[in-house]
Amino acid sequence: MSPHYQLHTDLLNWYRHNHRELPWRENSSPYRVWLSEIILQQTRVDQGLPYYLKFVDHYPTVRHLAEADLDLVLKDWQGLGYYSRARNMHQCAQVVMDQFNGEFPKSASELAKLPGIGPYTASAIASICFQEPTAVVDGNVFRVVARLTNSNIPINSTEGKRYFATEAHHLLNPVDPGTHNQAMMELGALVCTPRNPSCPVCPLRLYCDGLKNNRVDELPVKMGKSVRRTRYFNYLVVQTDCLFIRQRLDRDVWFMLHDFPLVETEEKVNNWSEVISLFQTKYDLDLGNDTNLLDPVHEKHILSHQTIQATFWRLQPKSIRFGADSNIFEADLEDIEERYAVPILIKNYLSNLNAK
DNA sequence: AACACGGGGGC
DNA sequence: GCCCCAGTGTT
């Protein structure tokens, strides 16, 4: 019998009575578990749930997803963030179709070779769908184990990753690893929360060294985060019947999403003449006479590693032309709504445009 | 080993 | 308005 038998029993009893009813937990196929895990990486359940339902609806099987157009997949993903997840998910579906005959591999080590599937997602699918005894280590598990073991090792250090993965493996319930893993994560989400955890009702309170030492509020320990750089985006918004947009194809944030013709500057640009000059240089912009120049709109958009100070330079030209080698094209609002994925910064701007 | 990659919620 | 959350891939 496992030395953690009583802990396992208490945890599973708590899970049985307190877990949330979520669609991917009923009749879970590997495809649906995979879909939910990809969507829920770095994403709260509340935010990811509507996306999960949309993807199951639009792409009921891995074949549907594999055969779908990437731009439409990105459009369905719009707003979730970390768009490489959508690209890797799409590619993964194609690999599963082409190389695995439409069936997900059953072991964590095989799963981890697929695009977008790392150690966490591989363990989640293998344990939940195929009962492989492999421990998941997500942010919840890091926190639960750090408190349980009263460990000061930073969870985002190399040593921490190794240590907490080892500890999570020792804690794993070999009888039902899939449910155990889900219970650990659910405990972190509902009870052992980052702030104001509910220790008095925690099923593991009697086993928790952090609680015994009154150190729950100090755990887990984390190393300092890097600084955020500031970038200045100058967007040219051509307000005619259509809008001029472009797909972002450089190696940069929001890869493959769409925004407006853009000149990035080191400093904030404050006047129209400088903006027009910059666009003439970069895009070979040809602006007719009698162009109506409107007041610029300023928006600040904060990402995890950068702060984007965006200025929307709005103009209403009689005629306008961009150089032939740019990938700028015209689309109306309806097209953008239906077909072209845009960052939230752009979506919000367009929404305000509509409201006025 | 360090960095890049979004967006939303809590206080 | 600021702080926090956090898997995977790339360099």
Q: Using a 7 Å cut-off to protein CB atoms, list the covered nucleotides of chain C.
A: 3-9, 11
Long-range contacts of A153-156 (CB under 8 A, 24+ apart): A153/A221, A154/A220, A154/A221, A154/A222, A154/A223, A155/A220, A155/A221, A155/A222, A156/A222, A156/A223
* A31 within 8 A of A61, measured Cβ to Cβ: yes
CA distance A145 to A7: 13
CATH number of A229-355: 3.90.79.10
Provide, in whole angstroms, the distance separating residue A53's CA from nucleotide B2's C1'. 36
CB A218 within 8 A of CB A143: no
In one-letter notation, the amino acid at residue A90 is H
Q: What is the mean pLDDT of residues A35-63?
A: 94
Length A318 CA → C4 C1' (Å): 48
Supply φ then ψ for residue A218, to 5 degrees: -90, -5
Start-end ranges of CATH 3.90.79.10 in chain A? 229-355
pLDDT for residue A351: 85
Q: pLDDT digit string (tens) for A181-204?
A: 999 999 999 999 998 899 999 999
Task: Report percent pLDDT > 90 for chain A.
Answer: 71
- List where CATH 1.10.340.30 sits in chain A: 5-218
Q: What does the block give as tokens for A176?
A: 């039902």
**pLDDT tens readout for residues A312-324:** 999 999 888 888 6
Mean pLDDT of chain A: 91
A37 is catalytic: yes
What's the CA gap between A179 and A171, in Å, rounded?
Answer: 13
CATH class given for the domain over A5-218: mainly alpha
Say yes or no to pLDDT of A326 above 80.
no
Q: How many CB atoms lie within 10 A of CB A235?
A: 21
Q: Has residue A273 got a pLDDT over 80?
A: yes
* Å from the A290 CA to the C3 C1': 47
At A342, the pLDDT band (50, 70, 90 cuts) reads: very high
